[in-house]
Amino acid sequence: MELKIVHFYPDLMNLYGSYANVAVLKRYLEELGNTVTVETVAPGEEADLAGADFLFMGAGTERRQKAALSDFVRCGEAVKALARDGAAMLFAGTAMELLGKTITADDGTVYEGIGLGAFTSVQGKKRFVEDVYGTTDLYDGPVVGFMNKCSIIQGVETPLVTAMDMGFGNSGEKTPEGFRFRNVFASELTGPILVKNPRLLDKVAQAIYARRDQALPDRLPRWQYAEDGYAITAQQLKLRWEKP
């Protein structure tokens, strides 16, 4: 298949190696025999979303997040239409908050999100910087990552990480984290999340294939370094949260 990835603001929203989410997905899909094109969108540029199989936006500082939002809202209706149609998307780090109803900055200014989800984000002076270990209902096995955020997020109906054993979730310590709508995956976890969680990478690829009425092959790409890194990280984090 010929597949199209649209990467929003790769220069503006690029913290914590966010670009690697696109790089690892592209490699994965190419190893399955597909031709993959990555189209980038800079602020002010037209976003050609026709035929897009996957949309991505990475993490940025709170200041850059607002700059991204001021441009991204023009694509809001098109993005929501694609989401309702089952297109796969990943919004990592602070990009997740753009999908909600509002973002309130630490100075009290309220910014309108695109409203794919009904949740709200309120940013404060305190930062939550910590490792994360949780579980999801998408697959068996833990979700791991790193978080550096200053937001309290309320009103998420369907979280990505449904239970947290370690780390700050959407609204507090060990609360569910992230947001999911159909094949839209969003999380404040960085690291980047698809590199650190190979089974989530499988799920994203599965969503892309399903929208093309295709099933993933029985034999999927497996990279030993990624599998080993995930296993070691999960083991060490589990030992930490289980420690009396």
| Domain spans of the chain, in order of start | 2-242
Give the per-residue pLDDT at 172.
94
Residues 21 and 206: their CA atoms lie apart, in Å, by 15
Query: What pTM value is reported for the model?
Result: 0.96
Q: Which of 171, 38, 41, 16 is nearest to 100 (CA)?
A: 171
Half-sphere exposure of 90 (CA within 13 A, CB side): 29
Give the per-residue pLDDT at 28.
98
Measure the CA dihedral 184/190/196/198, to 10°: 0
- Tokens 């930490």, residue located: 240
Backbone CA torsion sign across 239, 242, 176, 216:
positive
Residues 18 and 93: their CA atoms lie apart, in Å, by 9
Q: What is the pLDDT along the chain (244 residues), one digit of tens a residue?
A: 999 999 999 999 999 889 999 999 999 999 999 999 999 999 999 989 989 999 999 999 999 999 999 999 999 999 999 999 999 999 999 999 999 999 999 999 999 999 999 999 999 999 999 999 999 999 999 999 999 999 999 999 999 999 999 999 999 999 999 999 999 999 999 889 999 999 999 999 999 999 999 999 999 999 999 999 999 999 999 998 887 6
Residues 56 and 9: their CA atoms lie apart, in Å, by 9
Measure the CA dihedral 88/100/41/74, to 10°: 120
Give the per-residue pLDDT at 241.
81
Please identify, in words, the CATH class of the domain defined by 2-242. Answer: alpha beta
Half-sphere exposure of 45 (CA within 13 A, CB side): 13
How far is Cα of residue 80 from the mean position of the Cα atoms in its chain?
16
Q: Which of 100, 130, 129 is nearest to 115 (CA)?
A: 100
CB contact at 8 A, 188 and 147:
yes
